[in-house]
Structure 1
Amino acid sequence: MSQEHGQPTESRPETPVLPLGITPRRFGRSPGLKFFVIGFLALLLLIPLMFVSSLRGERSATANLAAREIGDAWGREQIVGGPALLVPYLVPPKTANAAPTREVAIFLPDDLQASSEAQTEIRRRSIFDVPVYRSKVALTARFLPPDFKAITSEEVQPLWSEAVLAVGVADVRGLKNRATAQIRDGAAIEFEPTLGAGIRDGNGIHATLRGIDLTRPLIVEAGLDLNGSRSLSIVPLAKNSALRMSSNWQHPSFSGAHLPDDRVVDANGFSASWRVSHLARNLPLAFTHDKRADVTFLAGGVGARFYQPVDLYQLVDRAIKYGILFVGAVFLAVFGLELVARDNLHAVQYTLVGFALVLFYVLLLSLAEHLGFLTAYLTAAAATTALIALYIGLVLRSFARGAVLGLILATGYGLVYALLKSEDFALLAGAIGAFVALTALMLGTARVNWSGLGDGVAKSVTSDAGAPKSPA
């Protein structure tokens, strides 16, 4: 307390003096500082985006579980390998007191003609659709007389009475009705479970060849009624294999060790054919079973996956990967409108805009499971665009600026959808789009005073120059 002219006066804390008339309020409104705050908020939104991505993964896992459950009851992805000729034989003992060793020789056909016709249908579990099929597989194989010298140089004793014809099947639960093989110029023989010839490993069926003269060429015709889901493949085991496949499914994805030589895909379905030589398989035509028969019979198949053209979970995942870039671009657009309007938006308002952008992906995921990806994308994008445009229009007290932001959002969502559908050119289009956006930002803000100090400095200098000097 001090007294002047008898009146007490209070001492007040001195206001910090900033150079050239710069006030703390003006420094707080620095566009440069605001720019980095907005960037920090955009990075924080990575956290809810990660939760949305985790939610997408859970829904995708649920869809795969539904597909597996349907496959367990109907039939899983099917691979047919064979037929092959399995002949047990005895190897002479190395010593006088030892017993002969029993082995199984596997002889692959010299020629194989295989065809399959699959009729597909959609099975539904909860809200998930899974394509399944009923197929008829026809196999015609020609075998040369078994030559054990191609396997071993020892004198072995073939057990012709135990010889079997084996066909590998990936999921034997999909086999329907009886399966028989017709010996050319002979009787029909019926298939039984397992690969036979004492082989316990591997999935498949076998037919005994007891009474069949195997010292002459053997021609066998076999037919299978097979249920499965998602994909169907046939293994070209022969020296020369000719395979054909047809189906009413309009969206095949040809897969396997070899692509088809000829294929036709139209509104009625697809048909494809392969010709494969054993030289392309790196597998001998005769060898001894070494407990890898399942791998031998079922590896290297060719066929088609009954591909669903819109894998919504994959598309949603790709959309989420563009999320942080999209959020950053929208924040920059709002920041630009804020500069033009000479207004000052709060960080909370940017955060609310960010939450609306994140909620778009939740809407997209939930709606896509019921409406399809395109309808869900249009609905979620329209709702998000309308909400943010209306909100910014109210905040900036200008519905014209809100409409401008809505146009920017609509264009952005359109570009993202184009990137999602263009797998081959997504990287190129994304890189060009990012470069154009950065160019527009740099040129549009070339004259922005990012420090926010120039106006205060100029105003202070002008006021100091025009004010009358006080007497010393």
Structure 2
Amino acid sequence: MSQEQEQEQPNESKGELPSFPAGINPRRFGRSPGLKFFVIGFLALLLLIPLMFVSSLRSERSATANQAAREIGEAWGREQIVGGPALLVPYLVPPKIANAAPTREVAVFLPDDLQASSEAQTEIRRRSIFDVPVYRSKVVLNARFLPPDFKAITSEAVQPLWNEAALAIGIADVRGLKNRATAQIRDGAAIEFEPTLGAGIRDGNGIHAALRDLDLTKPLSVEVALDLNGSRSLSIVPLAKNSAIRMSSNWQHPSFSGAHLPDDRVIDANGFSASWRVSHLARNLPLAFNHDNRRADATFLNGGVGARFYQPVDLYQLVDRAIKYAVLFVGAVFLAVFGLELVARGNLHAVQYTLVGFALVLFYVLLLSLAEHLGFLTAYLTAAAATTALIALYIGLVLRSFARGAVLGLILATGYGLVYALLKSEDFALLAGAVGAFVALATLMLATARVNWSGLGDSVSKSVASAPARPSTSA
């Protein structure tokens, strides 16, 4: 074997790697833009792990805020639902067996007409660093009852116990009642309410007024005024054949909820007002029925209409929505850094990309912690400005060009501005996010259309052109 042939064979005994094809530099291949692109993508996916911990921290803080709201509600008054008034009349059913005792039942008669109004004055109560909206409300119920007709309940001849009849009102949290409550009978005296629903009903939250000396065989008109404290929401149940409900408050951000939306509503800087008209045909409840202790709450407290005193800046919800855009944002920033690296012909290490990623993740921790004290907008601006300044300065030092660092800072500021716009635009967030992602991808594709991702092209052609011709082995 000739000396030239011996030199062409790799010296494996000395631990040397097999030679790459002519013109391919293994070191240059390891630093190819294409390989680095996938490494950067993998690092962006790895950052999902700390982002999951940030999301868990947000959930914990949100749970703490809800606990503070519940504690204030326990002391002040929880979410209030007012249902009624309803007329409860016990009656005896004759026994079908001789010498047996008659059966006692309780008939419930709902009003033929109900005019209800409420006016709620809200205020903010604080527990630790959390704010909870509470209200003082004046609820007025005007109801008109027709004479009870037991034939609508049973075909049997029954014995009404008129002296045990009661007027009942269901209230979700009776601890919110302030002062005494009375039922003003038209052309009669005021009757004071007592705890529980009355007429022998054991279950259900509410109050009742005994109607011992009234002639219930004639139409009955009553007016009830309640001073009621509560928090978060207020609802009134339209129990009558025809119910007209009006509600007003100084709260400027109501969220109307319940079985029916208001027919008319006005929301301005002074608060809101709304009105509902509901027929009994829209409710799955007859106007007269036998009461069952097991469904007391279902009878008086279900199907209410009203408003939730919504806090327009729910910082925990906004932080959660910001975290959902985190992966796309981190990926976009990594691509921007990668583009600057290509332009500067630098060589950033994976550790440096990881440090940039950690700074982007820390933005969400800063946002969450500052928002609890400063409000979401101020916290967002502060956290975004600090993160932008840190990353821009760091990349400027690494690439030895503060101009490129300033360019990255401008990109970051624009990105944070777009994300904030997405957070505040609930109706068009998906559309704006999709269009923004498409524009970013199109920009990246067009800007890198002539990039040599393999990092081999020119060097291969030059090496092949300059390589000496191999001697012919033909005879």
Q: Same fold (TM over 0.5)?
A: yes
Aligned-partner residue type, residue 39 of structure 2: V
Match of residue 345 from structure 1: 348
Match of residue 301 from structure 1: 304
Offset at residue 470 of structure 1 (A): 8.9
Question: 2:384 is matched with which residue: 353, 371, 381?
Answer: 381
8 Å CA contact 1:393–1:399 kept in 2: the answer is: yes
Write out per-residue CA displacement over residues 427-461 of structure 1, whole angstroms, 9 at most, x where no aligned residue: 11111111111111111111111112213212212
Question: 1:265 is matched with which residue: 264, 267, 271?
Answer: 267
- Find the aligned partners of 1:72 and 1:43 in 2 and give their Cα distance: 44
Write out per-residue CA displacement over residues 171-225 of structure 1, whole angstroms, 9 at most, x where no aligned residue: 0000011000011011110000000011111100000000110000000001101
SS at match of 1:386: helix
Question: 2:325 is matched with which residue: 316, 319, 322?
Answer: 322
Question: 2:59 is matched with which residue: 54, 57, 60?
Answer: 57
8 Å CA contact 1:194–1:202 kept in 2: the answer is: yes
Offset at residue 75 of structure 1 (A): 0.2
Match of residue 6 from structure 1: none
Write out per-residue CA displacement over residues 69-100 of structure 1, whole angstroms, 9 at most, x where no aligned residue: 00000000000000000001111222224221
Aligned-partner residue type, residue 450 of structure 2: R
8 Å CA contact 2:78–2:176 kept in 1: the answer is: yes
Aligned-partner residue type, residue 29 of structure 2: F
Where in structure 1 are there 5+ consecutive unaligned residues? 1-10
8 Å CA contact 2:23–2:461 kept in 1: the answer is: no
- Find the aligned partners of 1:213 and 1:469 in 2 and give their Cα distance: 124
Match of residue 70 from structure 2: 68
Structure 2 residue 52 is the aligned partner of structure 1 residue 88: no
Question: 2:192 is matched with which residue: 190, 193, 198?
Answer: 190
Write out per-residue CA displacement over residues 13-68 of structure 1, whole angstroms, 9 at most, x where no aligned residue: 43420002212211110111111111110000000000000000000000000000
The 5 Å alignment of 1:204-283 reads 204-283=206-285
8 Å CA contact 2:256–2:262 kept in 1: the answer is: yes
- Find the aligned partners of 2:212 and 2:370 in 1 and give their Cα distance: 61
Q: TM-score, normalised by structure 1?
A: 0.95
Match of residue 42 from structure 2: 40
SS at match of 2:323: helix
SS at match of 1:21: coil
Match of residue 368 from structure 2: 365
Where in structure 2 are there 5+ consecutive unaligned residues? 1-12
- Find the aligned partners of 2:78 and 2:64 in 1 and give their Cα distance: 17
Over aligned residue pairs, what C-alpha RMSD do you find? 1.4
Offset at residue 361 of structure 1 (A): 0.2
Match of residue 163 from structure 2: 161
> For residues 469 and 173 of structure 1, do their structure 2 counterparts lie closer, same or farther at Cα, with a shift above 3 Å needed?
same
Structure 2 residue 441 is the aligned partner of structure 1 residue 431: no
- Find the aligned partners of 2:403 and 2:86 in 1 and give their Cα distance: 76
Write out per-residue CA displacement over residues 147-193 of structure 1, whole angstroms, 9 at most, x where no aligned residue: 01111111111111110000000000000110000110111100000
SS at match of 2:191: strand
8 Å CA contact 1:180–1:223 kept in 2: the answer is: yes
- Find the aligned partners of 1:217 and 1:15 in 2 and give their Cα distance: 105
Offset at residue 282 of structure 1 (A): 2.1
- Find the aligned partners of 1:14 and 1:50 in 2 and give their Cα distance: 45
Structure 2 residue 173 is the aligned partner of structure 1 residue 171: yes
SS at match of 1:132: strand
* Worse overlay, 314-323 or 270-279: 270-279
- Find the aligned partners of 2:189 and 2:102 in 1 and give their Cα distance: 33
Match of residue 408 from structure 1: 411
Aligned-partner residue type, residue 187 of structure 1: A
- Find the aligned partners of 1:99 and 1:455 in 2 and give their Cα distance: 107
* Count of residue pairs the alignment pairs up: 460
Question: 1:335 is matched with which residue: 338, 344, 350?
Answer: 338
Offset at residue 391 of structure 1 (A): 0.6
SS at match of 2:199: coil
Write out per-residue CA displacement over residues 299-325 of structure 1, whole angstroms, 9 at most, x where no aligned residue: 111111111110000000000000111
Question: 1:21 is matched with which residue: 7, 12, 23?
Answer: 23
Moved over 3 A (4+): 11-15, 467-472
- Find the aligned partners of 1:375 and 1:27 in 2 and give their Cα distance: 47
SS at match of 1:19: coil
8 Å CA contact 2:265–2:275 kept in 1: the answer is: yes
Aligned-partner residue type, residue 451 of structure 2: V
Match of residue 4 from structure 1: none
Match of residue 288 from structure 1: 290
Aligned-partner residue type, residue 258 of structure 2: G
Q: TM-score, normalised by structure 2?
A: 0.95
8 Å CA contact 1:20–1:456 kept in 2: the answer is: no
Aligned-partner residue type, residue 25 of structure 1: R
8 Å CA contact 1:368–1:377 kept in 2: the answer is: yes
- Find the aligned partners of 2:91 and 2:472 in 1 and give their Cα distance: 125
Match of residue 443 from structure 1: 446
Match of residue 136 from structure 2: 134
Offset at residue 469 of structure 1 (A): 7.9
Write out per-residue CA displacement over residues 406-438 of structure 1, whole angstroms, 9 at most, x where no aligned residue: 111111111111110000011111111111111
- Find the aligned partners of 2:472 and 2:431 in 1 and give their Cα distance: 70
Aligned-partner residue type, residue 251 of structure 1: H
Aligned-partner residue type, residue 157 of structure 2: E
- Find the aligned partners of 2:262 and 2:17 in 1 and give their Cα distance: 83
- Find the aligned partners of 2:73 and 2:442 in 1 and give their Cα distance: 52
SS at match of 1:219: strand
- Find the aligned partners of 1:149 and 1:368 in 2 and give their Cα distance: 62
Percent sequence identity is 89
Aligned-partner residue type, residue 45 of structure 2: L
- Find the aligned partners of 1:196 and 1:380 in 2 and give their Cα distance: 58
SS at match of 1:420: helix
SS at match of 1:83: strand
- Find the aligned partners of 2:266 and 2:213 in 1 and give their Cα distance: 44
- Find the aligned partners of 1:469 and 1:321 in 2 and give their Cα distance: 60
